[in-house]
A and B are shown apart, each in its own frame.
Chain A
Amino acid sequence: MNQPIEPDHINVPTEALESLRLRLTQVSHSLNTLQAQLHQPTLPPWSSLHNQFNVLLTQLVSLSSTITHQSDILQQTVTFPLPAFPTATEAGLMATLLRKKILPEVEEWCEEVKQKALGVKIRTVDQYGEWAAETVEEAKQEYEWYGLMTREEVDNGVKPPVYVAPEEEAGEGAKLTIEQILQFTCAGKMPTVA
């Protein structure tokens, strides 16, 4: 009777968990590196921090898509402690590990953004993409993207100011063409001022 029952692990979603484990290792590693960098007395250059953060975001997206991909099997799986788990001594740790309820802060946070999303008609990513493209195009129409004048100035017919150097006002020497100058320097032919 004391013979422990060998649990059946056939229903543990190993493959799904393995892919998750890989992603989680990456994310944890990146977070740890970032934390170490922030702890330094002199911060690394912002560009390096920014890159680190971008890497982290990519890994997070990858993790999130893995979860979505495996969501069917993960939702149907229920985890429970086996007799081997030292339930008596490590009850707290067990609760932490197996807890499924969202932390109150996170819950608040989610509620908050849900409130913000209430009046929004766009529901899917595709709709969002369409809307964004339209909006950007509309915004682009509002501006002139070339030249040195604002649209308002162009509409009012303002001419760009022309700066005239004091020397140029005299107008001497400008009457010679480049051919005349070359003729003078090469052949010594005195130019005749028109």
Chain B
Amino acid sequence: MSDIKVTLAVEDRAENQDTLSISEIVPRIVAERKSFVDVTEESLLEEIANCVADSADDNVKDEVDEKPDESPFDQHRLKLLENVKAAYNESALALDFVSLLISSVRPTSASTSMSPHLKTHIPVGSLGADRVPAPQVANEPGVGIGWKIESLTNARDRLKTCASRLRTEAAKEKTYWAGVASIAATGEVLFKVRNSDTRGLGIKYGFGDAGSKYRDPGIGVLKRSATGTVDFEPKEEVQKKFVRVTIKSEEGEVTKSVSNVYTRDSKPPTDPTLAAIHETRHALFEEELFFEIAREARLLTSRKVTVADGAVTVDLGEGDMVVIEWVEVPEEPTTTFAPSLANLFVLALRLLLANAHRQQLEKMRTPPAPLQSKGGPNPNPPLPILRPLLAHILHKRLVSRARRSLYLLSTTHSGLSFEITTNNSTDKESSSLGRLMAAPVSNLKIKFSDKGNAKVVIPSPLQSHQSMFDVTMFKGTSQETVTSHTGFHELVELEEWVRWAADRSEPKKSN
């Protein structure tokens, strides 16, 4: 009944009469007639007009109209609509019949429930009824029972589908929570996420709790995959790159060593989710390391540190260069650690970042300084990562150059002797980084025969407020009487001065 198309189009019916059998046509006509009950004149006129319009561009529209709707939702909706329409037709017809029959007794009240079509075509009170003694028709229980069975079967099937779906869901949930528990057991920080777009379990894999102030806080979510396993999704995509250090000499022509180590697990966890979390965490560390180095490098432009082409280049002088890059992780990482210079260099950088994290954490724990209305210090200064390393390297080179030139002077000037001591004491007990945490300081003692001696303090070369060589001259052999105090900024100046002082203190030749 539901698939009967109710239409008034005559052509339509005529062309279908050839293809339909009698048993199909008869109910169809009946169904069409029924529709008269709720058809108004306007709708008829409209339908006829549509028929004409349709036939006019039949060739064009035919293909489009007959295409079945692809979407299953629309199909169901259409089917439901047809069923409701048929039911409405049936009930309207029954109502019309009952009303018409009543109208023979109560014409006024009955006509209120009659359809407009019936009212205009059939006069009220035109049906009669009489009571005819008829044998009791036995009630046929088969239909009711059959329907009940049908409904029960449907209900059972639906319950079964629901139950099986619930069961698979429960199994998936079990896998998911087992995975979550295994992740939580390794000490990862999990928390509840209640955003508008994401809901579920969050994981903090970043270094925020360790003192990092990097822009990416390292937050991800643990999602349930289609199969129930735990899927780790970082909130911000972290590139799988690492910091690589290349040490070059001869103006960058000769590569002396390249680092090949980066932060990773020596034994990655077997759980793929945990492995992904670890990998992302390490990648984040490397990213922050390079970011901080680049930030620091901008302050060191006066020290021949340049940031160009995605690499930080440090010119150490005398043709030696250190290139720090952020590059893709190789497919097959090296498994052994070679104690090359570059590897040690990059390890020191990592240790310094971790140390800077710790210092920041300690700073965060102390009560904050009072607010200043203006001109406070930079609230987010670059972390000391490159600077300590660079200070020591440059200092060492300077000291060795000074030693060399003083040695040359001592060969030509008799009575000139010198001694250089570099402060190697690791009195900063807090640090496992050794002397890296303390600024490099060297003391140079020069003796000019018996007439005088000088004390030269060579501080860290990155301190711009101090002169490179702080010279104090004393009289005699003791350090009691200061004769002069000066500072030099270049080794050449120191050399000149020493030569001059040595010349003066040398015993005068007779002629």
Residues of A bordering B, CB below 8 Å: 7, 9, 11-14, 17-18, 20-21, 24-25, 27-28, 31-32, 34-35, 38-39, 43, 73, 75-82, 84-86, 89-90, 92-93, 95-99, 103-106, 110, 112-118, 120, 122-124, 128, 161, 163-166
Q: Which of A17, A20, A166 contacts B185 (CB 8 A)?
A: A166
* Complex interface: chain A residues within 8 A of B145 (CB): 113, 117, 120, 122-123
B44 sits at the interface (CB 8 A): no
Distance of B52 from chain A, by nearest CB (Å):
24
How far apart sit A192 and B141, CA to CA, in the bound complex (Å)? 83
In the complex, the answer to whether B105 meets A9 with C-beta atoms within 8 Å is yes
B34 sits at the interface (CB 8 A): yes
How far apart sit A7 and B186, CA to CA, in the bound complex (Å)? 96
In the complex, the answer to whether A106 meets B143 with C-beta atoms within 8 Å is no
Nearest-neighbor residue (CB-CB) of B121 within chain A: A90
How far apart sit A114 and B142, CA to CA, in the bound complex (Å)? 5
* Complex interface: chain A residues within 8 A of B150 (CB): 113, 116
In the complex, the answer to whether B131 meets A96 with C-beta atoms within 8 Å is no
In the complex, the answer to whether A75 meets B127 with C-beta atoms within 8 Å is no
In the complex, the answer to whether B98 meets A20 with C-beta atoms within 8 Å is yes
Q: Which of B27, B99, B186 contacts A21 (CB 8 A)?
A: B99
How far apart sit A11 and B131, CA to CA, in the bound complex (Å)? 6
Residues of B bordering A, CB below 8 Å: 1, 23, 26-27, 30, 33-34, 36-37, 77, 80-81, 84-85, 87-88, 91-102, 104-106, 110, 113, 118, 121-123, 125-134, 136-137, 140-143, 145-150, 181, 184-187
In the complex, the answer to whether B27 meets A12 with C-beta atoms within 8 Å is no
In the complex, the answer to whether A38 meets B81 with C-beta atoms within 8 Å is yes
Given A17-B98, A27-B91, A86-B121, A105 and B148 contact (CB-CB distance below 8 Å) = no
In the complex, the answer to whether B132 meets A35 with C-beta atoms within 8 Å is no
Q: Which of B80, B98, B104, B132 contacts A7 (CB 8 A)?
A: B104
Distance of A41 from chain B, by nearest CB (Å):
11
How far apart sit A39 and B78, CA to CA, in the bound complex (Å)? 9
How far apart sit A35 and B26, CA to CA, in the bound complex (Å)? 26
* Complex interface: chain B residues within 8 A of A7 (CB): 104, 128
Instruction: Return 25 A-B CB contacts under 8 Å, by A number.
Output: A7-B104, A11-B131, A21-B99, A21-B110, A28-B88, A28-B91, A28-B95, A31-B88, A38-B80, A39-B81, A80-B127, A81-B127, A82-B128, A85-B126, A93-B33, A96-B34, A96-B37, A105-B27, A115-B146, A116-B150, A117-B143, A117-B145, A120-B145, A123-B145, A164-B185
How far apart sit A39 and B84, CA to CA, in the bound complex (Å)? 11
In the complex, the answer to whether A28 meets B92 with C-beta atoms within 8 Å is yes
Given A32-B88, A34-B84, A13 and B129 contact (CB-CB distance below 8 Å) = yes
Nearest-neighbor residue (CB-CB) of B106 within chain A: A14
In the complex, the answer to whether A93 meets B129 with C-beta atoms within 8 Å is no
In the complex, the answer to whether B91 meets A97 with C-beta atoms within 8 Å is no
Q: Which of B97, B102, B106 contacts A97 (CB 8 A)?
A: B97
The interface residues of chain A, by DSSP majority, are classed as: helix
Q: Which of A34, A96, A164 contacts B30 (CB 8 A)?
A: A96
* Complex interface: chain B residues within 8 A of A161 (CB): 181
* Complex interface: chain A residues within 8 A of B36 (CB): 92-93, 96
How far apart sit A116 and B150, CA to CA, in the bound complex (Å)? 8
How far apart sit A104 and B1, CA to CA, in the bound complex (Å)? 9
In the complex, the answer to whether A165 meets B184 with C-beta atoms within 8 Å is yes
* Complex interface: chain A residues within 8 A of B96 (CB): 97
In the complex, the answer to whether A75 meets B137 with C-beta atoms within 8 Å is yes
- For the complex with contacts A80-B130, A96-B36, 18 further pairs of A-B residues with Cβ separation under 8 Å are A9-B104, A11-B129, A21-B113, A24-B95, A24-B113, A76-B131, A80-B127, A80-B128, A93-B36, A96-B30, A97-B97, A98-B97, A103-B30, A113-B145, A124-B141, A163-B181, A164-B185, A166-B185
How far apart sit A106 and B27, CA to CA, in the bound complex (Å)? 11
How far apart sit A158 and B146, CA to CA, in the bound complex (Å)? 45
Nearest-neighbor residue (CB-CB) of A110 within chain B: B143
Distance of B163 from chain A, by nearest CB (Å):
10
Q: Which 7 A-B pairs have the closest CB atoms?
A: A113-B146, A117-B146, A85-B126, A117-B145, A31-B88, A84-B126, A105-B1
Given A81-B127, A113-B147, A90 and B92 contact (CB-CB distance below 8 Å) = no
How far apart sit A106 and B102, CA to CA, in the bound complex (Å)? 27
In the complex, the answer to whether B102 meets A11 with C-beta atoms within 8 Å is no
Q: Which of B98, B122, B141 contacts A85 (CB 8 A)?
A: B122
* Complex interface: chain B residues within 8 A of A20 (CB): 98
Q: Which of B27, B91, B97 contacts A103 (CB 8 A)?
A: B27
* Complex interface: chain B residues within 8 A of A164 (CB): 185
Nearest-neighbor residue (CB-CB) of B188 within chain A: A166
* Complex interface: chain A residues within 8 A of B118 (CB): 93
In the complex, the answer to whether A113 meets B143 with C-beta atoms within 8 Å is yes
* Complex interface: chain B residues within 8 A of A76 (CB): 131-134
Q: Which of A11, A18, A31 contacts B91 (CB 8 A)?
A: A31
In the complex, the answer to whether B121 meets A12 with C-beta atoms within 8 Å is no
Distance of B5 from chain A, by nearest CB (Å):
14
How far apart sit A18 and B104, CA to CA, in the bound complex (Å)? 12
* Complex interface: chain A residues within 8 A of B88 (CB): 28, 31-32, 35
Distance of B471 from chain A, by nearest CB (Å):
59
* Complex interface: chain B residues within 8 A of A163 (CB): 181, 184-185
Given A78-B130, A93-B33, A114-B143, A18 and B23 contact (CB-CB distance below 8 Å) = no
In the complex, the answer to whether B81 meets A35 with C-beta atoms within 8 Å is yes
How far apart sit A125 and B121, CA to CA, in the bound complex (Å)? 45
How far apart sit A7 and B233, CA to CA, in the bound complex (Å)? 85
In the complex, the answer to whether B142 meets A104 with C-beta atoms within 8 Å is no
* Complex interface: chain A residues within 8 A of B148 (CB): 128
Nearest-neighbor residue (CB-CB) of B26 within chain A: A104
In the complex, the answer to whether B128 meets A75 with C-beta atoms within 8 Å is no
How far apart sit A41 and B302, CA to CA, in the bound complex (Å)? 70
* Complex interface: chain B residues within 8 A of A114 (CB): 140, 142-143, 146
* Complex interface: chain A residues within 8 A of B85 (CB): 35
How far apart sit A25 and B95, CA to CA, in the bound complex (Å)? 7
* Complex interface: chain B residues within 8 A of A11 (CB): 129-131
In the complex, the answer to whether A113 meets B149 with C-beta atoms within 8 Å is yes
Distance of B285 from chain A, by nearest CB (Å):
22
Nearest-neighbor residue (CB-CB) of A25 within chain B: B113
Given A28-B95, A76-B132, A12 and B101 contact (CB-CB distance below 8 Å) = yes
Nearest-neighbor residue (CB-CB) of A109 within chain B: B1
How far apart sit A92 and B137, CA to CA, in the bound complex (Å)? 29
